[in-house]
Structure 1
C-alpha cells in the first residue's frame, strides 16, 4: 500500500513538473507567436511603406517624364517662334538698309482683285506692286491702280497692251518677272533691291530701244515721203 502511494505521489510530481514544463513551453510559444505577429505587422508596415514608396517613385517618374515632354514641346515651340522671329526680322533689317523691298500682292488684276488688295495691304503712294495674274486687267483697271501713286508694277504673267500704255502714261514701269526673282516670307513677297535695279535698267533699255525704233520708223517714213515728193510725185506735176 505504501509502495503504491509512493508511486502515485511520484507520478503526480512528474505530472506537475511536466505540466509546469508544458506551461513554460506554452508561454514561450505564445511569446514567440506574439513576437512573430509583431514582426509580421512590421513587415506588413514595411511592405506598405515600400509599396507607397514605389507608387510615389513611379508617380514622380511619370510627373518627371510629363515635365520633360512639356519642356521638349515648349522648347520646340520656342525655337519655332525664334526662327519665325528671325525670319521676320531679317527682311525688315534688309528693308531698313534698302537691300530688300516689300511688294504689295494683287492676286487678280481685276477691279475686285484691286479692291481686295487695297483693303488687305493698304496700297498707297510709292508702293511696289506684284500682280500674281496680270492678264485680266485693261485700261480702266490700270487707271485705278495708277491713281494710287504706285511706283512700280511687277507681273508674273503678260498684261494687256492697253494696261501697259496707261501705266506708261503715268510714268510707272511695268516689268515681267520670274518666280525666282521673288522671296516669300511669312506669306508676303519681297524682292532684293539689286534684282529690282537690274530689272528696271533692262526695262529702261528695252523702252529706249523701242522708242528709238519708233523714231527710226517715223524718220524713215518721213524720208520716203520727201523722196516721193522730190522725185515726181503727184505734187510735182
Structure 2
C-alpha cells in the first residue's frame, strides 16, 4: 500500500497490456520512479503497484487507439489518458528510451517506458514554464496537475494562492479563538486535534486507494464471468448441433434402408415384365438374367457409337468388354450419360477405377459378376439379376461403412 510520502507525488504511468504486462512510472520531471513487468498480472495487482509509487496524473500507451485496459485504469484514477496521433514505431521507442537513466529488461518494459516518456515530452515545455512562473510558497506539482487538466498556468497559480489564503484565514481565526481561552491547554488540544485530523486524512487516502483497487478487481472478475458465460453458451450450442446432426444421420440411414427395400421390391416385380418385353421383341432370353448394353472397348469413340445406336440412358448398367485403356475422361463421359454401374472384362486402369469410385459408380469385374450370354451382333449381354443385385448391395454397404469411419 502507498506510503504518505509517495501518495503526495504525481506520476506519469506508461502501460503495455497483455499476457505479460509492462508498466513504467516517471515523475513530473521525467525522472524514472519504477519500471517492471510481470506475467498474468491482474488489473488489481497492477493498480496496487502503481498507487504504491504515487498519484497517477497521466496514463499512456504506445499504440493508438488506446487499449481498453489502459483507459480503464485511467478512469479508475480519474487520470488524464494521453492519446497518441499514431502508434509509436520500434525505432521511435528505442530513441525515446535511450539515455537519461532509463533502463528496461524486455520489450514490454521498453514499450511502457516509451509511452510515459512520450506523454512527458508533450508537456515538458509547459512544465518548464510552470517551474519558472510558480512563486515561492505555491506547490509546483499542484500547478502542473491543474495545467494537465486544462487550466492555464496563471489561473492554476491564482487558484492555489486563493486556497492557501483561505486556509491561512481559517488558521488565524482558530488562533484568535485559542487566545481568548486558556492558551496553554487549548494549544495542546489543538495540536492533538490537528494530529488526529492528519491521521484521519491519511487513513481516508489509503481507504480511497483500497476502494480503487477493489473496484478494479470487481470489474476484472465480472469480465471473467462474462467470458465464461459466453464459453458455456458456445459449448451448449455445439452440443445441441452434435445431437441434431446424430439424429439427422439416424433418420437418413432409416430412409435409405426403406428406399432400398422399395427398390428391391420393385426390381423383383419388374423382372417378370422385363422378360416378357424381351420376349415380345423377339430377342433371346436368359432365365434369371438381366439384359445390359455392351461396349466393345473403353474408349470415347466406342461409347459415342453405342449411345448413337441404342441410346445410353440414366440408370443404365453397361458391360465394357475390354476395360483397359480408359481413363478419367471416359469415366466422366459414362457418368454424364447417367450410367449407374459398370461390368468390365479386361482390367481397368488405376485412374479409371479411382474415378468411378470418386463419382460413386460401382465397377465390377466379370469374375465378380459373370456374363451369362453375349449378343455380339446386337451389342447386348446378359448377367445374373440376383448376383448383380447382391454385388450392388455389398458395394453400397461398404461405401456406407467407409463414410461412417470418415465421419468419426
TM-score with structure 2 setting the length = 0.27
More strand by share: 2
TM-score norm. by structure 1 comes to 0.45
Relative CO higher for 1 or 2, CA cutoff 8 Å, sep ≥ 6? 1
Is the radius of gyration larger for structure 1 or structure 2? 1
The structure with the largest helix share of the pair is 1
